[in-house]
Amino acid sequence: MNNSRILLDVQLEPAIGSRFQPTGFPDLGPAEFQRPDGAACLIVESAQSMANHLEGTAWNDAESRPAEAFTALPYVRVVDGAGAYLTSSRTEAHRLASAFVKNSAHEGVPMMDVIRDRLGLKADTPLDHRRIARAVFALDPFALVHGVFFADKAWLGQPKIARALTSFVEAIGVSRAESGGVKRDHVRHSTADVGGSSEGYGSVPFARTEWTAKEIIASFSVDRRQLRSYGLGAAGTQLLEHICLWEIRALLDDGLRLRTACDFVPSGERIVDRDGTALASLADLSDQIASDVGACADLLDGTDVLDVVWDGGKKKKSEQ
């Protein structure tokens, strides 16, 4: 077994048909590139987008709460003045460093101060990375998996934790599949004298570019060395590793529906890493996580969901 990292390369295929729509970027379009062997390739899904998809597997959108396997783990829940749910550290792009988290208050204390004190951030003092990791673990362990950057001048030293779980999807040996269509107006047959397509009227033809590929590969990397560097002990490190594997398994089991016209499923039934170790089932990983949580009592120290109140991001008079 690789003690440095877990690496998986999972062959994918379109759930229906053979075409797919890759991610696109402003002023760039599809992210095409050429491998050293000359193969024409595409970035189908970027690392930052895959992080969002992986995190999404562990959150129950319908009920605005964590998936069942993670209900015993802490996170920061942001509510309004009436106590209604707004967002959380699990769903915000910047996690614990989100504006909605840092501009909230917990029991009347600004979260900027709560996080600063828990992380032990002081002037003229080196960052204690292990203390920071333990504090982040007790606030929301998922921030140690997907990374967090406390990029605010009020947080002295602005500590940053990189992603420990990285993924992306590439297509190899790609070709364009050109097509098109028309948005047809069945009521207004002429827009010569009145509102046109900018107002939503008229029949408007459009072009569409999709792609086919010889291979589509979802790659995953779990940085075990980084997880160990947090100094959380065997139980804490194992919990974070199992969270990573749970998210990967959940994403692959559900299929990767990345966009309307970009829906993939794994090509094979058995998923193994580069060392030949099979990826455990979701049920087994859920059981392992439950056991890990019990073994991490000293790290969690009775922590629970931290409710914080966001007042709309209004600046206090002293800050204006």
Q: Please write the tens of the pLDDT for every residue from 279-292.
A: 999 999 999 999 99
pLDDT at 317: 47
List the domain range (segments joined by +) for residue 148: 5-310
Helix (H) or strand (E) holding 310: strand 306-310
Q: Are strands 306-310 and 76-79 parallel, antiparallel or unpaired?
A: parallel
How sure is the predictor about 203, in pLDDT bands with cuts at 50, 70 and 90? Answer: confident
State the Cα–Cα distance between residues 81 and 89, nearest whole angstrom.
18
d(Cα 11, Cα 213) in Å, to the nearest integer? 12
Confidence band for 301, pLDDT divided at 50, 70 and 90: confident
Mean pLDDT, residues 30-43 taken together:
95
Q: How far is CA 131 from the centre of its chain?
A: 24
Residues 228/235, Cβ–Cβ less than 8 Å: no
Mean pLDDT to the nearest integer, 34-54: 95
What is the amino acid identity at position 223?
D
Average pLDDT of the segment spanning 220-245: 97
70-124 tens-digit pLDDT:
999 999 999 999 999 999 999 999 999 999 999 999 999 999 999 999 999 999 9
Residue 318 lies in a domain: no
Q: Is residue 215 part of a domain?
A: yes
> How far apart, in Å, are the Cα atoms of 145 and each of 103, 195, 243, 247?
23, 51, 8, 10
Copy the structure tokens of residue 139. 């606030």
Residue 317 lies in a domain: no
pLDDT at 201: 77
Mean pLDDT along residues 129-135: 96
The predicted pLDDT at position 318 comes to 46
Per the domain annotation, does 319 fall within a domain? no
Q: What pTM did the predictor assign?
A: 0.91
Decide if 181 is inside a domain. yes
> In this structure, are residues 157 and 176 in contact, taking their beta carbons and an 8 Å threshold?
no
The pLDDT confidence band at residue 193, using thresholds 50, 70 and 90, is: low
- Average pLDDT (8-23) is 95
Nearest Cα to Cα of residue 258 among 94, 52, 88, 91 = 52
320, part of any domain: no
Residue-wise pLDDT tens digits, 57-83: 999 999 999 999 999 999 999 999 999
pLDDT, tens only, 166-188: 999 999 999 999 998 888 878 77
Task: Note the pLDDT of residue 302.
Answer: 66
Residue-wise pLDDT tens digits, 247-264 = 999 999 999 999 999 999
- Please provide the distance, in angstroms rounded to a whole number, between the alpha carbons at the two ends of the chain: 56
* Inside any domain, residue 198: yes
E-only strand ranges, 230-279: 256-259, 262-266
Distance CA 121, CA 105 (A): 18
- Given a contact cutoff of 8 angstroms between Cβ atoms, the answer to whether 28 and 244 are in contact is no
**Among 131-140, 236-245, 306-315, where is mean pLDDT lowest?**
306-315
Q: Assess if residue 315 is contained within a domain.
A: no
State the Cα torsion 133-95-165-136 to the nearest 10°.
10
CA distance 277 to 240: 18
Number of domains the chain is built from: 1
Please count the other Cβ atoms lying within 10 Å of the Cβ belonging to residue 68. 10
| Residue 279 per-residue DSSP state | P
